A and B are shown apart, each in its own frame.
Chain A
Amino acid sequence: MRPILLSGHERALTQVKYNADGDIIFSVSKDHVVCAWFSHNGERLGTYHGHQGALWTVDVDPTSTLLATGGADNTMRLWEVKTGKLLKTWDFATSIKRVEFSPDGRQLLGVTEKRSGHLSTIVVYEINPDPAAEQTNEQSLRIVCDESKATVAGFSYMGKYIIAGHEDGSVSQWDAKDGEYMFSEQIHEPDMQVTDLQWAPDRTYFITASKDKTAKLVSTNELRVLKSYSTDTPLNSAAITPVKDYVILGGGQAAMDVTTTSARQGKFEARFYHKIFQEEIGRVRGHFGPLNYVAVHPRGTGYCSGGEDGYVRVHHFDKAYFDFMYEVEREQANL
């Protein structure tokens, strides 16, 4: 496969996302600009300007009309995907580390950073899906994480729960209707930050990536670890591939150590593991900095990765990827 190299950003990428149909990729970086790209040829559709600080996170609603972003300028913003127009700005006391739309696109979740005097919170807004409508200022839900700050969060299937990953390696569950705390589980090593949380297509389970060099597949209802994938480098991101039973893990040693190690030692590769057998099946190299985020095409035809090196690499899988099967899988398929 020949990856498409997107070099529209001037600083490290922080998140990349496909829209629901997989034809557009949204990328945010520390250079304050949001970019939208066509995934099939890497053509840039446009840029969204307005943020005054590094951007940490981006998400698009299921109909690809609204785009939400959050960044270090302490704002969460809503954009019209088509025109790049800024629709709404919500101001906070601290930076926004993660935004995510609910599966129906009617709610938007934001995770705020913990800083002196301010605890980390998860806020939820009701969203009017019409881009012309006025968006509310009122938070429909506000969850304060007083034990350990939340780093990532998302809506479960049907928007029933809010699942959050924490700085101390735990994952917790809240009721998304009334914000009631359900329970939490220590999924990763203590004090090893959960760096990413991405959903399976049906959102009944998700994958978490952590600085403890592992990624775990966790069930939504019981927060039970279903599968574990261990690597030799701190992970920044993990994604589940549809169609084929793989997971893609991205990482590399911390950005601050990059200059002291060669690209070879740095392990700046996307790692493919078999989802069921938990075995590594291959790697894709290319970045010369840690991978900050990996995102998979919703149809499972490709993936893209955003690196600390400022590039987005878009990959379209070729035949070998789809043909690969374990012996037992092949037997099963031939039955």
Chain B
Amino acid sequence: MSRVQGRTDWAEEEDEDSLQLPQQQITKNKDGTETITTYSVREDGKKVKTTRRIKKTTIKQVVNPRVAERKQWAKFGQEKGKPVGPQTDTTSVAENIVFRPVANWKASAEDKGEAEKKKQNLKDAKIKCRICSGDHWTTKCPFKDTMAPEGADAAGSVTDDVPETAGALGGGGGGYVPPHLRGRAGAGEKMGGKYERDDLATLRVTNVSEFAEEGDLREMFSRFGHVTRVFLAKDRETGRAKGFAFISYADRSDAAKACEKMDGYGFGHLILRVEFAKKST
């Protein structure tokens, strides 16, 4: 391959190589197709013979002459002198979009929306403290040591009562039950009993001034009946009120009266919002 017929010019060598390859052959077949045979040298130095059969068809396309003429127009303005064809700086192809018209499009789309709404609701519901109904996790609640969960917790959301009762009786198996709850629960069969009663007559007071004291609240709410418990949430570090409180009455009717009268009552520089402590669902 290297020196051929006395040629000494090394620069000609490449040409010499290609000359050795047979010429491209085009044969016309009877069925109107053409067979094109070409030879080439691959990168690894091997000769390759390529045979292609081609059928040529003429496709006639009727083009609006005005449109065809406009395609030949020279570019102008910012495009002046730019080569033919779309320029990458101004024109690109976006992602494929599936567009399929459907008769009941709206219905299907709304279903999807509803499913998402439900999901959203679920999300919201999860971040609700079972102790103070605040928008944080129960485990993060600053009052989880000082307050029992609201009634619903024990009665409603805990599905299996058995270990709970066992725990209440001081047996193994269930979670820890504080001593002050054990005695009472021992009397009744169900822990829920105590909470349910409590829950019915408990008011949740929000928007309480941060300078409020439990005594003030007790004084205010005692007007409507016998108050069994006042709980004012306080910040551990500063000792100031957190802005909400729970008031338990002995009688539910008193609680209802208080709820009605005290909702919207101005206390300190704020307006109280009073509602029944809700079961967390």
Contact = CB atoms under 8 A, between A and B. Distances in A.
Contacts of A317: 99
A307 to B, nearest CB: 12
Contacts of B96: 1-2
The interface size bin for chain A is 35 or more
Contacts of B100: 282, 320, 324
The interface size bin for chain B is 20 to 34
Contact of B94 (A280, A286, A318): A286
A24 B105 CA distance: 32
Contacts of A4: 91-94
A8 B77 contact: no
Residue with the highest number of chain B CB atoms closer than 10 Å, among A7, A37, A280, A283: A280
B106 A1 contact: no
B261 to A, nearest CB: 41
Given A83-B76, A84-B76, A282-B105, A6 B94 contact: no
Contacts of A21: 64, 66-67
Contacts of B8: none
Contacts of A282: 99-102, 105
B90 interface: yes
B80 interface: yes
Interface string B225-237: 0000000000000
A177 interface: no
B87 interface: yes
B91 A6 contact: yes
Contacts, number: 119
A42 B70 contact: no
B93 A47 contact: no
Residue with the highest number of chain A CB atoms closer than 10 Å, among B64, B77, B86: B77
A5 B77 contact: no
B28 interface: no
A46 B91 contact: no
Interface of B: 64, 66-67, 70-71, 73, 75-80, 84-87, 89-97, 99-103, 105-106
Given A2-B95, A327-B103, 5 more contacts: A5-B91, A6-B90, A23-B71, A43-B87, A49-B77
30 contacts: A1-B96, A2-B94, A3-B93, A4-B91, A5-B93, A21-B67, A37-B91, A41-B85, A41-B91, A42-B93, A44-B78, A44-B79, A45-B76, A45-B79, A46-B78, A47-B76, A47-B77, A48-B77, A82-B70, A84-B77, A246-B101, A279-B106, A282-B101, A283-B105, A286-B97, A313-B94, A315-B97, A324-B101, A324-B102, A327-B103
Cβ-closest 7 pairs across A and B: A47-B77, A46-B76, A42-B91, A324-B101, A281-B101, A84-B76, A46-B77
